[in-house]
Structure 1
Amino acid sequence: MKFSIERGALLRAVARAQSVVERRNTIPILANVLIEAEGDEVHFRATDLDIEVVDKAPAKVERAGATTVNAVTFHEIVRKLPDGALVNLTDDGASGRLSVEAGRSHFALATLPRQDFPVMANAEYSANFAAPAPVLRRLFDKSKFAISTEETRYYLNGVYMHVAEANSGRVLRCVATDGHRLARIDAGLPDGAETMPGVIVPRKAVNELRKLLEDDDMEIAVSVSETKIRFATPEITLTSKVIDGTFPDYTRVIPTNNQKRLEVDASDFAKAVDRVATVSSERSRAVKLQLDEDRLILSVNAPDAGNAEEELVVAYSDEKLEIGFNAKYLLEIASQVDRENAVFLFNSSGDPTLMREGSDDSAVYVVMPMRV
């Protein structure tokens, strides 16, 4: 194998591929990236057995071939090469070394046989559709904060992506919950997605997917089966196993009869919560909300550190209410609001609270209260 490639293109491809590699693993080949040169492009493939990323970059290939090299070391070398450098890579197949040359720099890296590299088996995808990058970015960005980190409830360790019925008709929906808060985000149903099975996309795949969705003009090809999901752009293909479990019936915890309505400037609210929570070193410290006619008082009482209180002018015309929430949960939900105003709908101090962005019900959040 012998090819030359521009350093910038090589760095982008290797950076995206090596990010899925687990730093600690007991199988040496999984620390490597598979480099395959053929035609006028090179493919870089990395996997942790659950996720596989394949990135391709244009190159001048003199001799086709393939090898594997430590992903982290290779990425570090390429990152430290000068901008604009032309990088020459050669593997004669006999020495067990990959030669990397750029200007006066020369490296010889240990390789492992490409035959040992596990390639994820192709699945028969039951649904294939395309969605704009901003649509997928919104679906996953606004829901992923609620993914559970509890390993015992593994079926909550991802985002549940499925087709659902909404007031506006059938939608593509992403839901995540950890039992304390819930996010439910809807988007228009793309052509071809109607037959999509509901799948739970793991947290790591959601985080890796985010790197594919930076370009607002990009269309992402999505393929879904019962066991795998694949996202593809012209340059990158991300394939992930889905979580083998049943997502709970989330509709039962979304309140439908909360009548007490609070409307508040989302930015002002988030900043006020952040300020009053400063007096507490405990991240789970409850913030108390005291609601009265067009007035909201936020307060935190931390016996060891002190207390804090802040008043906001809001739109509220129902009976007085006192309710407490985990400050971290409130901040995370408030930070999802893109519109100017956040609308909270309460029932009582012991019932789940619903939040949405203004009059838009395509993004709905639920947070459980705390005793204060």
Structure 2
Amino acid sequence: MPRAAAPAPEISEGPSATVALAELQLAANRLGRVVERLNTIPALGCVRIRFNGDQLTLEATDLKMTLMLNLEAQTTGKADLVVSHRALAGFLRAARGPVTITHMRGEDHDRVRLSDGEIQVTLQLSIPPEDFPQPFKEPDPGAMRGGGTFTLSGAQALRLFDLGRSCVSREETRYYLNGTFLTTKPEVGTLRAVTTDGHRMAIIDCDAPARFIEGPRINGSKATDRPDGLIVPVRAVDLLIAIARKAGNAPLTFAADARHLLVTAPGLRLVIQGIDGTYPDYTRVTPPASDAFTAHLSTSALSRLRTIASATCYGRSLP
């Protein structure tokens, strides 16, 4: 006689949140620049989703930076879930309308259901929210004002980080060059970004006042013969460029101490751990300004020059 099938485990629907598709797609794109796809810690490839009241919070980390985004949502109840970013991003590429995220409680495992009204995906939850990494304590912007604190518009931040991006070094042995050095312009007290790979160097100045403090050296001594500042890793630089492109004139507030950079904006909170190293004293190799040669080129002329150079220079990246 055939055996009777075991009863299916009971699953009950719990709290849910409905959010606009475009906002969720933009958030997933930004979180994708943070999550580690190849890692030995499964939680680093996931996104923590929390909803309560009229707000949906998404969080991702790679242990070197943590991004937290707040979206407006219509919610019923509150929930705390850890969902695979790969599965979430794949669903959002196929979705066509507002997305509803529902927490479903079961006897064996909890589940989450993603639905846009036409497509419905149910995922099993295997990582409890308390196991989601929290590499940074909740930073206090007021306590970080001893370092560099400044506010930039999206256009200013894009200019600051994007113009020198092509000069960031890719050499792993010189890890302290794998980022953008935020510092203070000597004798002026304004913000400056420096990038170099040892052959090319970009120095981008901004009119925003900024003052940086320097952390102690490895031997505990305090250096006074080099500029103070913070080295922002290249992955964080790329994320800041993506955020600045969409920010427009919306303000981005930066607060830095000796090791961390806190970036805040409406609905956004980003904590970045700077590269623990000594950036070279770029002022020693910077030639003084000279009026011996001055050239004014239009954007169209530079574009034509780049088109010709890309066809004649093989094996070289063109900024």
The TM-score bracket by the shorter chain reads 0.7 to 0.9
Q: Secondary structure at the match of 1:68?
A: strand
Q: Distance in 2 between matches of 1:129 and 1:180?
A: 30
- The answer (yes or no) to whether the contact 1:68–1:114 under 8 Å persists in 2 is yes
Q: Distance in 1 between matches of 2:181 and 2:87?
A: 35
Q: Distance in 2 between matches of 1:257 and 1:15?
A: 42
Q: 1:136 aligns with which of 149, 157, 163?
A: 157
* Residue ranges of structure 1 left out of the alignment (5+ in a row): 285-327, 333-372
Q: How many residues align?
A: 281
User: What is the Cα deviation at residue 55 of structure 1?
Assistant: 0.9
User: What is the Cα deviation at residue 86 of structure 1?
Assistant: 4.5
Q: 2:196 aligns with which of 174, 177, 188?
A: 177
Shift in alpha-carbon separation, 1:273–1:56, aligned structure 2, 3 A: closer
Shift in alpha-carbon separation, 1:91–1:129, aligned structure 2, 3 A: farther
With a CA cutoff of 8 Å and minimum separation of 6, indicate the structure with the bigger relative contact order.
2
Q: Report the counterpart of residue 69 of structure 2 in structure 1.
A: 55
Q: Which moved more, 1:149-158 or 1:265-274?
A: 265-274
Q: Report the counterpart of residue 72 of structure 1 in structure 2.
A: 86
Q: Secondary structure at the match of 2:186?
A: strand
**Alignment of 1:212 onto 2:243:** yes
Q: Which amino acid aligns with 1:157?
A: N
Q: Report the counterpart of residue 206 of structure 2 in structure 1.
A: 187
Structure 1 runs (4+) deviating above 4 angstroms are 257-260
Q: Report the counterpart of residue 6 of structure 2 in structure 1.
A: none
User: What is the Cα deviation at residue 131 of structure 1?
Assistant: 2.1
Shift in alpha-carbon separation, 1:88–1:273, aligned structure 2, 3 A: closer
Q: Distance in 1 between matches of 2:93 and 2:74?
A: 20
Q: Distance in 1 between matches of 2:251 and 2:291?
A: 40
Q: Distance in 1 between matches of 2:81 and 2:289?
A: 61
Q: Distance in 2 between matches of 1:75 and 1:270?
A: 35
- The answer (yes or no) to whether the contact 1:132–1:218 under 8 Å persists in 2 is yes
Q: Report the counterpart of residue 156 of structure 1 in structure 2.
A: 177
User: What is the Cα deviation at residue 104 of structure 1?
Assistant: 3.4
User: What is the Cα deviation at residue 271 of structure 1?
Assistant: 2.2
What TM-score, normalized to structure 2? 0.81
The structure whose residues are more often strand, as a share, is 1
- The answer (yes or no) to whether the contact 2:212–2:256 under 8 Å persists in 1 is no
Task: Output the aligned Cα RMSD.
Answer: 2.2
Shift in alpha-carbon separation, 1:139–1:93, aligned structure 2, 3 A: farther
Q: Which amino acid aligns with 2:234?
A: R
Q: Deviations over 1:132-178 (max 9, x none)?
A: 22222111111211110001000100010011225xx3210000000
Q: 2:305 aligns with which of 260, 263, 272?
A: 272
Q: Which amino acid aligns with 1:278?
A: A
Shift in alpha-carbon separation, 1:44–1:271, aligned structure 2, 3 A: same
- The answer (yes or no) to whether the contact 1:2–1:91 under 8 Å persists in 2 is no
User: What is the Cα deviation at residue 262 of structure 1?
Assistant: 5.3
Q: Secondary structure at the match of 1:261?
A: coil
Q: Report the counterpart of residue 130 of structure 2 in structure 1.
A: 115
Matches within 5 A, 1:208-287: 208-213=239-244, 214-256=246-288, 261=293, 263=295, 265-266=297-298, 267-269=300-302, 271-272=304-305, 274-275=307-308, 278-279=311-312, 282-284=314-316
Shift in alpha-carbon separation, 1:195–1:250, aligned structure 2, 3 A: closer
Q: Deviations over 1:58-84 (max 9, x none)?
A: 1122121201010011111022111x3
* Residue ranges of structure 2 left out of the alignment (5+ in a row): 1-14, 215-228
User: What is the Cα deviation at residue 195 of structure 1?
Assistant: 4.9
Q: Distance in 2 between matches of 1:273 and 1:85?
A: 43
Q: Which amino acid aligns with 1:41?
A: Q
User: What is the Cα deviation at residue 88 of structure 1?
Assistant: 3.9
Q: Distance in 2 between matches of 1:277 and 1:90?
A: 52
Q: Distance in 2 between matches of 1:93 and 1:3?
A: 19
Q: Which amino acid aligns with 1:204?
A: R
Q: Distance in 2 between matches of 1:257 and 1:279?
A: 31
Q: Which amino acid aligns with 1:183?
A: A
Identity %: 29
What TM-score, normalized to structure 1? 0.70
- The answer (yes or no) to whether the contact 1:221–1:233 under 8 Å persists in 2 is yes
Q: Secondary structure at the match of 1:226?
A: coil
